[in-house]
């Protein structure tokens, strides 16, 4: 009987490859939402996970002296789990916002819950990103970003240095589902809170990108596994011919 480097027969080796493929493909399927923070402090890219993104809520101005619980733009509304103050980047305590952004942001400095917020996204949201900046004079602190009810590769925690400004946090779906909620937690700012904003969205209902996607990781994993299985079958057939 022809054997490979693992000392297995052809049939056993083929089943080993299949089992490995099923294991890794199943892992990809479970992650229905992918969190991506790779842009860091840089300006946002035009796509997220292959979804074409549209700027959201960046020119809503400042509303001093009061708090708000939502932001509306492009015919869509993003709700906040608590009341926050609407202001502008590059003003007040947010002068160091990264890559020169000076549009609308929201902060929790005057909120009852200063260290966390949940965003309730509009129906039909496929991808969403934001930037987060801790309310520190100097130094760094951890920011944790996650989906609330969807299976994802999160939570993701990133150490954010305020001298570099606001940091990018994004998430996108990899199947036919949609994003419903995203959470931000910054436990290291119990007094001054944090700011968040510079949103981007892809939404199929009433604006915000829509469409324009590339094959998601789940499909790519299945496609790659199918190709691997084909190669294994070809290799096994050749070994069989040589051994006969």
Are 146 and 180 spatial neighbours (Cβ–Cβ below 8 Å)? no
Burial class from Cβ neighbours inside 10 Å (0-12, 13-18, 19+) for residue 81 reads middle
| Rounded Cα–Cα distance for residues 197 and 220 (Å) | 32
Each residue of 71-114: pLDDT tens digit? 999 999 999 999 999 999 998 779 899 999 999 999 999 888 89
Question: What DSSP string describes 168-236?
Answer: EEEEEESSS----EEEEE-TT-TTT-EEEEEEEEEESSSSS-----PPPHHHHHHHHHHHHHHHHHHHH
Say what the pTM is: 0.77
Q: How far apart are CA 28 and CA 16, in angstroms?
A: 19
The domain locations on the chain are: 10-27+219-243, 33-213
Tens of pLDDT along the chain (244 residues)?
555 544 555 555 444 444 444 344 444 445 699 999 999 999 999 999 999 999 999 999 999 888 999 999 999 999 999 999 999 999 877 989 999 999 999 999 988 889 999 999 999 999 999 999 999 989 999 999 999 877 888 899 999 999 999 999 999 999 889 999 999 999 999 999 999 999 999 999 866 666 555 444 444 444 444 444 444 455 555 545 555 5
DSSP 61-83: ---TT--EEEEEETTEEEEEEEE
Token pair belonging to 150: 């969807």
- The answer to whether the beta carbons of residues 54 and 200 sit under 8 Å apart is yes
């Amino acid at each position: 009987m022809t054997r490979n480097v693992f000392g297995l027969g052809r049939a056993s080796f083929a089943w080993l490859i299949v089992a490995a493929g099923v294991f890794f493909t199943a892992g990809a399927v479970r992650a229905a939402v992918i969190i991506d923070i790779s842009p860091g402090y840089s300006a946002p890219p035009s796509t997220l996970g292959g979804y074409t993104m549209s700027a959201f809520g960046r020119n809503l101005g400042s509303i001093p002296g009061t708090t708000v619980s939502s932001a509306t733009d492009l015919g869509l509304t993003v709700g906040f789990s608590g009341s926050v103050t609407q202001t502008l980047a590059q003003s007040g305590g947010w002068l160091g916002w990264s890559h020169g952004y000076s549009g609308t942001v929201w902060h929790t400095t005057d909120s009852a819950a200063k260290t966390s917020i949940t965003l309730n996204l509009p129906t039909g949201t496929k991808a969403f990103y934001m930037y987060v900046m801790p309310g520190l004079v100097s130094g760094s602190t951890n920011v944790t970003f996650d989906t609330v009810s969807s299976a994802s590769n999160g939570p993701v925690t990133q150490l954010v240095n305020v001298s570099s400004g606001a940091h990018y946090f994004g998430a996108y779906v990899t199947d036919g589902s949609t994003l419903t909620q995203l959470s931000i937690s910054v436990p290291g700012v119990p007094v001054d809170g944090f700011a968040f904003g510079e949103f981007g969205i892809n939404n199929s209902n009433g604006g915000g990108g829509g469409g324009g996607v590339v094959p998601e990781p789940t499909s790519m994993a299945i496609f790659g596994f199918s190709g691997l299985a084909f190669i294994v079958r070809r290799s096994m057939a050749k070994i069989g011919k040589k051994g006969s």
